[in-house]
Amino acid sequence: MTASIIDGKAFAASVRDDVAARVGQLKKSTGITPGLAVVLVGEDPASQVYVRSKGKQTVEVGMNSYEHKLGADISEADLLALIESLNDDPAVHGILVQLPLPKHLNEDLVINAINPAKDVDGFHLSNVGLLGTGQDSMVPCTPLGCLMMLREHHGSLSGLEAVVVGRSNIVGKPMAQLLLGDSCTVTIAHSRTKNLADVVRRADIVVAAVGRPEMIKGDWIKPGATVIDVGINRVAAPEKGEGKTRLVGDVDFASAAKVAGAITPVPGGVGPMTIACLLSNTLTACCRANPETSAA
Ligand code: NDP
């Protein structure tokens, strides 16, 4: 069997088109433009690339993008003061603090200082609690993108066996909550899980969010299963020339694609969906802040 490829890039483009159309309608009918503020602390090269890409796509769908680039030595008090001013700014509907933060800053404190209604990453304790209890919340962008692709591929997920490998607060745990919400039977695996290959082999749906290049092999995959690869790992690619690198996921794509029914590639799978969901969350936050816009 050769798996069908779940094209996250194309799906993300359709989500962005939909967001752009709704933003256009919103502006026309109410004069309100959704605004996303992104806060970047320090000079981490990967974070800089993500922030640039988020800002560019925000503008492309017709929203306002406000970038706040702060020195790595900013004090916690000054960062919290910035967040408070963004919380109070009516032109800002979504606030995203790019993680990781430098060590001297308490990430939990900073994230929980964001107004939960503007927490478009869905990491604030209130949103975590709402998601965990099945209530309307801001849903973290990466797991939301994964869920959208799974729903598009399967229709109903009810009753399917899902194994999420990874239990981080930003991917693994919210992913498991979302799958549970769609009535999957969910197992969360992690670094202490025994017989991981056997656990993964049970799954109709595998979500890999581990951060270990190509760890999940084809012979761990149940024939016909759907594989969502969240991992983004940069590895050496001597075949492309000295010092060159390439991106790979947490799944060994070549062997898994021979067994799975469907699989996301890396790059071009989960990554593009993450930013598309961020834009969608920002529009949602804007509409909730302005209930008269509910038609948008
Ligand atoms: P974390 O490092 O926070 O979590 C990794 C998880 O994997 C942990 O729960 C850890 O278990 C588990 N793990 C580590 N090693 C093993 C192992 N050998 N066997 C089983 N489980 C293991 O990572 P994130 O959740 O933040 O990210 C995961 C991956 O997803 C990374 O590659 C990251 O770059 C990528 N990512 C991609 C995004 C996208 O937009 N596509 C967005 C966010 C992340 P334990 O808890 O026991 O330590």
Domain boundaries, the chain: 30-118, 141-272
- Give the pLDDT of residue 1: 62
Pocket residue to mutate for ligand 1, from 168, 206, 216, 247, most atoms within 8 A of Cβ: 168
**Does the pLDDT of residue 131 top 90, yes or no?**
yes
Pairing of strands 245-248, 233-236: antiparallel
- Six-digit token string for 243: 């010092």
Active site residues: 54, 98, 121
Residue 227 in contact with residue 264, Cβ under 8 Å? yes
Average pLDDT on 52-70 reads 97
- Give the pLDDT of residue 176: 98
pLDDT digits (tens, 9 = 90+) for 138-169: 999 999 999 999 999 999 999 999 999 999 99
**Does the pLDDT of residue 295 top 60, yes or no?**
no
Output DSSP code: residue 212: S
Q: Ligand 1 centroid vs 168 CA: distance in angstroms? A: 6
**Does the pLDDT of residue 219 top 60, yes or no?**
yes
pLDDT digits (tens, 9 = 90+) for 80-114: 999 999 999 999 999 999 999 999 999 999 999 99
- Report which of 246, 247, 245, 189 is spatially closest to residue 220, judged by C-alpha positions: 189
| CATH topology for the 141-272 domain | Rossmann fold (3.40.50)
> Across the beta sheet with 185-189, what order do the strands follow?
4-5, 262-263, 226-229, 205-208, 161-165, 185-189
Question: CA–CA separation, 296 vs 284, rounded Å?
Answer: 9
- Give the pLDDT of residue 294: 61
Average pLDDT on 32-56 reads 96
- Six-digit token string for 83: 């967040």
Domain 30-118 listed as CATH 3.40.50.300: no
Nearest CA to ligand 1 atom 4: 168
- Six-digit token string for 245: 């690198």
Is-same-fold flag (30-118; 141-272)?
yes
* Angle ∠(21,181,119) on CA atoms, nearest 5: 50
